[in-house]
Structure 1
Amino acid sequence: MLTTDCFALMGSMGWMGWLMPLAVLLLLGLGIASLVKYLASSRHSHQDDRS
């Protein structure tokens, strides 16, 4: 039920209704990717400091 309501709202808003959720998902994905990259690089730098 929630999905059909969401698609109905997105359809009534036109192209902006489809662009905004895609933009939010893209920004969320980029944020997660940068966090993973930061955590991976900090883990490697700690291993380099020990040796």
Structure 2
Amino acid sequence: MMTHCLALMGNMSWLGWLMPLTVLALLGLGIAALLKYLFTSSKPMTGAQS
């Protein structure tokens, strides 16, 4: 399976290498943004501080 995938990527020239790397980068950025949102979300303020 891996050799078939690499052969297909080789036949597509630079686009075959760019697209998987782009998808992995976007996936990593999405996970990082989700983790940042989950761990740094501010607590709701009440009273005179809001």
Fold shared per TM-score above 0.5 = yes
The aligned counterpart of 1:19 is 18
* TM-score relative to the length of structure 2: 0.81
**Residue 41 of structure 1: how far off its partner (Å):** 1.2
- Structure 1 stretches (4+) deviating beyond 3 angstroms? none
Paired letter, 1:15: W
Paired letter, 1:34: A
The aligned counterpart of 1:10 is 9
Alignment gaps of 5+ in structure 2: 46-50
Aligned-residue CA RMSD (Å): 1.4
Q: How many pairs were matched up?
A: 45
| Pair member with larger Rg | 2
Identity %: 64
* TM-score relative to the length of structure 1: 0.79
